[in-house]
Structure 1
């Protein structure tokens, strides 16, 4: 292939290189990796069955578009860091429209090759040979944007599940079993509560980047994406070409967590490459990641549940509201066709990502679970586990409170109320209690340190239970998670080390969900745009972890997101055991704990 030297487009305010995402080979032969033929590394098989034969033997990978791990450490990978840079103007707030920009002013800066201004596409970009002229050229571009809307959408009103209950206007019914009221002769304890979880960012360590080379007959895109077929379809539509003429070369992502389904950087690079007739690289910086990516939507739940004196769950009524998640990125892309497609999807189907994890594993004679997935102008989409994290947090919080209402041990209460057919969930719950030396609630009263338990089933195939040990530091008004025990049954485990690593990541992510992570809006502007304002778990705050994988002959199931569902509720239940205060919203706020 005669390869033209690529230009680079970037969203970076300062020039940065992305050494693990931005490589770009000089010739097609560079794309075929040569894997070292070292013998298989012995792996621990404790608690899991291991398949000895590797799924992809070394040396037999064909047509790979990624460089080998060995090449990354031996300078065997080619990079695009010497390419010229370009930059696009960012909307100052969500929903802003480009009104005008001074193209001639930006072109007057020495080193600028071309400037693209397309108000219909809401796009303006600068291509240059010298990355150090980008700040000056962007200042000269002086883009003008539409004003922020007055009375920007109030998320509190959007998340008003009480109003939806009063008007009986929930869109979807997940469960409807039994009818009427429980027997008046029974002694019934009732729990009614509202729960909320916040918006969250993906906060990947590596901001996204893409290289596009749009030629007369073929367009090639190098980018990190979780769905190259979706990106190919978007690029084909953008260029008005056949999908067969678009080639996507998936690269390492440097973190995704649901945030790399769509790839805005790839689309922006494609626009610039098509207009300037040269290969172009777009590189986002941290602020662009936070301000221009879709987010985990907030959730609002309202639950009323009843239990009799024997500790049997008799009634469960749950309503919740959030936004579409699985189809969220379609509308988040922002063009008219995307909005049209999203409206059609909403008309014909419910968003299963929003409902994930809402159907709990417990039995109740009378049960109803309803929800609404309301599409808004805000860019919402998949975040690790989709709705499973927020929804399981609610279920496991209510179950813990019901156990306390009838003075039962939380583990015993869950086991007593599990629906039939959930033997694997019962097993991981018993195992995590034994592994953690579960002490029960009675022995934890009036203590600054305590344990909490939670469990769940992810996508109907992976069973997980966790115990969290926390310490309430009253002087600092802070909750510290000291240790987490986790037992997971994901069927036959092919690679135990990798599964444990994924569980560990889920544990840390679940701690962040419970303690730290929150996106907020100022009107329609995202307040948090870097790690100084958007908090994630730091090394010194992460707990010790102990993980057990259940030996199984069942088919392998998912492990990448499963453990997340049990971590946050285990932590909040431990907070209650330590302080007596129930947590109704995430992340945990000091005013909800240290009253």
Structure 2
């Protein structure tokens, strides 16, 4: 049995619901999670009305990851209600109530939604259940121990009576909340819902169209705006052909801001035609000569210089000097755009006395600050209606699109919906940083690593977003997956070298730091195995004897993927193992490399230990989706610059994996009693090295720079 450790003052405040029901208002304090929450005390709300309807005000944003269903399962399990009886509401803008206890902001990201709310939501459900039972017991004049809750009813074991939750909420609302020692959470063997393949609660609304995304917002009188942002970062509009714009039927206005031009019209077609007619002349500013070649050259130069020490154990210099074999490699990963299905959009109504927004964002906290800064309004005058998100991937952690929309709306009477084109989206992103990493290792006579060094060189997102999180010059995200690999080395040295590219904005991309570090680490481990003339799986097993959870996922993945069985010519299997986001994961990819250099990934097998399972359907879906998203980047993804401009513009030259290219993806979940880990980004990180290691097995060619270059593979 798991008992909470909350003290009474921090624990619960019970009050009457707006409709005369029971509200459980749960402060998610420092004891709500194991670590990382600090002193920030947010809240989650559960409402039960007189009809027995349970409403969960969702503290996290649904963006396809299945969190609406998973978090509702946490509540329903302890509350003893059917999952389909839980109604969901997106949390309003209120940091005091809904800030994420690990991230300390009202935001969603980092595969933390279950890790952060696993315990608090269960405690909230259990607390409400206890109080409902007590209310029924008082009405019957019996001992609460003779009562139980099930399927939204309280049953009396003695007289076989039952009362529905809706009949008890008024009485329950008058009770004193239980002391912490009176709240006992279910042990896993008693779970009825958690761990089962529940159907997603948001699917019907997506199918019938009742579920509204930000782009669906339609306040009365809304106009549509098309926008063009300066193609060079820091540039500004110099001139436009206003007469030609206003000649387009349906156009109302052309607006110039400090860095963009927008055309406001009755509908999207008119807005786009008006923008095309604007003939914008740009002042490109100081970044007009930025090129990818210059950025890479700068990274190469800087990566040769020492960085901030993230981890240093043992005598690396001695190990390298005495090694039987010494290996060195440079690995590179490009800038990447997010390319979400729902294009960037925001609907805004600015009035003299306030500002209201309709948007789908991962970061309500930053959105609020940005709107307040742009409008000069007091925070209490800003209302943000957050919506379900049609793909976030980290792009909607940034609020530049919101600020652009607000600046446009400040010059429009009534609400205006600003929608980015796909070209604007791809060419004006906050990109996954370009990384340029240097690796070295020394092997003993048996091929075992005795020294390991890794210097990460690239942009620091934390230095911009949260500089206080930088410890002695180390970006914790920049070294995640590198500073604590699953393997143990006798001597190990990891550095972070911050290198900011000119004229490029960088931010988190699905998988954040591990998307690059897992590629570097697992690729180089594969190089060590090849140098030791060892099987890649067997070699990793040698290095994982002190890490049983990592070893287990590797063993299961290898067994399920038929590792060791023969493959055909120019076919290969590649493996990757990682610990990231609180979960252990192993992936094995089967690839075929054509004589034209084309790479076809035919099968992906993943084994995951993510602790206690909430919904295996969600886990499988996330492994599949993350693998496809990462595979797209591995084979095709790269944002490049010329003359300060992004060269890619749409899916014709920033290619996405096509349906016929998608491999079969298998997911095997390792039963575990450990606390839940994250799942939304694990396969995105692993697929890079799993595929490139398979390419090496098929061709003998080592891919050290992504995306995969077919021309290189034609030569082997």
Shorter-normalised TM-score: what interval? 0.7 to 0.9
Normalised to the residue count of structure 2, the TM-score between the two structures is 0.68
The answer to whether the 8 A contact 2:225-2:265 is kept is yes
Query: 1:392 aligns to what?
Result: 518
Written as runs of structure 1 = structure 2, the 5 A alignment for 1:74-223 is 74=208, 76=210, 79=216, 83-101=222-240, 103=242, 106-107=245-246, 111-118=250-257, 121-135=258-272, 137-138=274-275, 141-147=278-284, 149=287, 151-158=289-296, 160=298, 162-164=300-302, 166-168=304-306, 170=307, 172-179=308-315, 181-182=317-318, 188-223=324-359
Query: 2:486 aligns to what?
Result: 361
Query: 2:614 aligns to what?
Result: 494
RMSD: 3.2
TM-aligned CA distance change 1:71 to 1:412, over 3 Å: closer
Per-residue CA deviation, residues 17-49 of structure 1 (Å, 9 max, x unaligned), is: xxxxxxxxxxxxxxx9x9999xxxxxxxxxxxx
Deviation at 1:345, TM superposition (A): 8.2
Query: 1:5 aligns to what?
Result: none
The answer to whether the 8 A contact 1:361-1:419 is kept is no
Deviation at 1:263, TM superposition (A): 3.3
Matched position secondary structure for 2:674: coil
TM-aligned CA distance change 1:408 to 1:130, over 3 Å: closer
Query: 1:553 aligns to what?
Result: 673
The answer to whether the 8 A contact 2:291-2:640 is kept is no
Greater mean alpha carbon deviation, residues 52-61 or residues 254-263: 52-61
TM-aligned CA distance change 1:366 to 1:74, over 3 Å: closer
Greater mean alpha carbon deviation, residues 99-108 or residues 256-265: 99-108
Query: 2:587 aligns to what?
Result: 466
TM-aligned CA distance change 1:112 to 1:483, over 3 Å: closer
Deviation at 1:187, TM superposition (A): 6.2
Query: 1:26 aligns to what?
Result: none
Q: Which of the two has higher C-alpha Rg?
A: 2
Deviation at 1:208, TM superposition (A): 1.7
Cα distance in 1 for partners of 2:350, 2:642 equals: 38
Cα distance in 2 for partners of 1:156, 1:272 equals: 35
Written as runs of structure 1 = structure 2, the 5 A alignment for 1:161-310 is 162-164=300-302, 166-168=304-306, 170=307, 172-179=308-315, 181-182=317-318, 188-310=324-446
Deviation at 1:529, TM superposition (A): 0.8
Cα distance in 2 for partners of 1:525, 1:315 equals: 42
Of the three residues 536, 539, 559, the one matched with 1:434 is: 559
Deviation at 1:497, TM superposition (A): 0.2
Deviation at 1:407, TM superposition (A): 1.9
Deviation at 1:262, TM superposition (A): 1.9
Query: 2:142 aligns to what?
Result: none
Deviation at 1:320, TM superposition (A): 2.4
Greater mean alpha carbon deviation, residues 367-376 or residues 534-543: 367-376
Cα distance in 2 for partners of 1:108, 1:591 equals: 49
Cα distance in 1 for partners of 2:459, 2:243 equals: 42
Matched position secondary structure for 1:371: strand
Cα distance in 2 for partners of 1:186, 1:89 equals: 59
- Structure 2 unaligned blocks of 5 or more: 1-48, 55-72, 94-200
Q: Highest relative contact order (Cα 8 Å, sep 6+), 1 or 2?
A: 1
Cα distance in 2 for partners of 1:102, 1:502 equals: 47
Written as runs of structure 1 = structure 2, the 5 A alignment for 1:325-404 is 325-326=461-462, 350-359=474-483, 360-376=485-501, 377-404=503-530
Cα distance in 1 for partners of 2:326, 2:362 equals: 44
- Structure 1 unaligned blocks of 5 or more: 1-31, 38-49, 331-340
Per-residue CA deviation, residues 513-540 of structure 1 (Å, 9 max, x unaligned), is: 2212112222211111111111111111
The answer to whether the 8 A contact 1:35-1:68 is kept is no
Query: 1:456 aligns to what?
Result: 578
User: Matched residue pairs, number?
Assistant: 529
Cα distance in 2 for partners of 1:156, 1:320 equals: 19
Deviation at 1:61, TM superposition (A): 3.5
Deviation at 1:394, TM superposition (A): 1.1
Matched position secondary structure for 1:424: helix
Deviation at 1:270, TM superposition (A): 1.8
Per-residue CA deviation, residues 263-311 of structure 1 (Å, 9 max, x unaligned), is: 3332233223222231111111111111112111211111111111223
Per-residue CA deviation, residues 108-145 of structure 1 (Å, 9 max, x unaligned), is: 65544333334xx2233332235444355435544331
Matched position secondary structure for 1:241: coil
Cα distance in 2 for partners of 1:64, 1:254 equals: 17
Of the three residues 673, 679, 688, the one matched with 1:568 is: 688
Cα distance in 1 for partners of 2:319, 2:280 equals: 67
Per-residue CA deviation, residues 405-429 of structure 1 (Å, 9 max, x unaligned), is: 1222212211222374x22111111
Query: 1:338 aligns to what?
Result: none
Would you say 1:317 and 2:317 are equivalent positions?
Answer: no
The answer to whether the 8 A contact 1:186-1:309 is kept is no
Would you say 1:579 and 2:715 are equivalent positions?
Answer: no
